[in-house]
Amino acid sequence: MSSSFATLPNSRKSTPTPFTVAIPEEQLSDFRKLLELSKIGPKTYENELTDGRFGISRDWLVQAKEEWLKWDCFPNFTQPIKENGDVFNIHFVALFSQKSDAIPLLCLHGWPGNFLEFYSILRILTERYTPETLPYHIIVPSLPGYAFSSPPPLARDFQLQNIASIMNSLMIELGFGSGYAVQGGDIGSKISRVLAATFDTVKAVHINFCIMPEPEGVKDSDISEIEKQGLERSSTFKAFGSSYALQHATKPSTIGLVLASNPIALLAWIGEKFLAWTDENPPMDEILSSVTLYWLTETFPRSIYPYRQLFTPGLIGAHENPEWYIKKPFGYSFFPKELAPIPQAWAKTTGTLEFYRQHESGGHFAAMEKPEILLADVEEFLQQVWKPRI
């Protein structure tokens, strides 16, 4: 990524610190030793199957172990942000435009994702534009607890509202206090919703994930056949694929400590999601890059805290919560192999939906799987709804 995209806006309130990814050699050496010594369990009927019905296959795990540790580094920044008495150093990757009317766009990942999800989109933009012609300022942060950002505090609870406050403060510090747009998937879509409902600085929201129960008042005739297939997929996910979320929500301490103890265990837990939640299996190196990042930055136990708020039985979810109804311009992209793709009529009950696109392929990690398509959706949405700021 060209350093020419690193020139910050003159309107910034403070200057973030350039950040270089540098993992201590001792830590890398320990990782390789632990990886080499980690035993893969015996063959069983369940793990010999390759269709994913019982989880990850043993053969895939063996192959992944052999190919691990191909690593890419990109220009990064960190910015200290104060929130409720604590200071968080927030890591982010950015493409800054030199156009005076460039649209600030905050791109938010979820779990088990990270900032690497958006790298394909960043590459497309750097190939298509120069800093003088780039129509956007692209900001891709690591959420608190993920990768190189500070973890949640130890002495108090930490929820979506806290994350949203930090993300909004980050955008203001970077000089975008007059307004910015947000794009989010997975947990990032829920933070996007909280941002839109809470802060006037957020002017438009596009999401590609909107998991929710069936709303009242939607007729069956309002739902297309492909959307009905999506609802069937949602039912299957709820019955056979969502137990991980309950584990994260109800026993985050246990699963966090277990998966922080062994890289192969972490790979099995996260690798399964990349295989099951995508339309086509991602390249091995993309999965391993993400899992390596999680391991070397001790992300997993510090990253699953949102599940306590989002998936604990009896609590209302983010997307159906009337408190977080989106009153700003709102866009939704439907990818059929998403975990729980919802109909357009359902999405309309959660905000002022002004943009909807239905695609024939693509899954949960749209920014990684279908970067050209997701970028085109976001660009079309912004062209439709964005009004110049004074």
The active-site residue, picked from 119, 146, 180, 307, is 307
Domain with CATH 3.40.50.1820 in the chain: 3-19+75-234+324-385
Looking at residue 292, what is its pLDDT? Answer: 85
| Whether the predicted pLDDT of 65 surpasses 90 | no
Class of domain 3-19+75-234+324-385: alpha beta
Report pLDDT digits (tens) over 324-369: 999 999 999 999 999 999 999 999 999 999 999 999 999 999 999 9
Looking at residue 232, what is its pLDDT? Answer: 96
Active site residue 364: yes
The active-site residue, picked from 136, 180, 186, 319, is 186
Looking at residue 66, what is its pLDDT? Answer: 53
Q: What is the pTM of this model?
A: 0.90
Please state the rounded mean pLDDT for residues 242-270: 94
Active site residue 136: no
Please state the rounded mean pLDDT for residues 184-203: 98
Q: Indicate the pLDDT class of residue 36, thresholds 50, 70 and 90.
A: confident
Looking at residue 31, what is its pLDDT? Answer: 72
Looking at residue 52, what is its pLDDT? Answer: 56
Q: Which residue has the higher pLDDT, 49 or 246?
A: 246
Report pLDDT digits (tens) over 103-154: 999 999 999 999 999 999 999 999 999 999 999 999 999 999 999 999 999 9
| Whether the predicted pLDDT of 390 surpasses 80 | no
| Whether the predicted pLDDT of 74 surpasses 80 | no
Please state the rounded mean pLDDT for residues 64-92: 74
Three-class DSSP labels, the chain: CCHHHHCCCCCCCCCCEEECCCCCHHHHHHHHHHHHHCCCCCCCHHHHCCCCCCCCCHHHHHHHHHHCCCCCCCCEEEEEEEECCEEEEEEEEEECCCCCCCEEEEEECCCCCCHHHHHHHHHHHHHHCCCCCCCEEEEEECCCCCCCCCCCCCCCCCCHHHHHHHHHHHHHHCCCCCCEEEEECCHHHHHHHHHHHHCCCEEEEEECCCCCCCCCCCCHHHCCHHHHHHHHHHHHHHHHCCHHHHHHHHCHHHHHHHHCCCHHHHHHHHHHHHHHCCCCCCCHHHHHHHHHHHHHCCCHHHHCCHHHHHCCCCCCCCCCCHHHCEEEEEEEEECCECCCCCCHHHHHHHEEEEEEEECCCCECCHHHHCHHHHHHHHHHHHHHHCCCCC
Active site residue 248: no
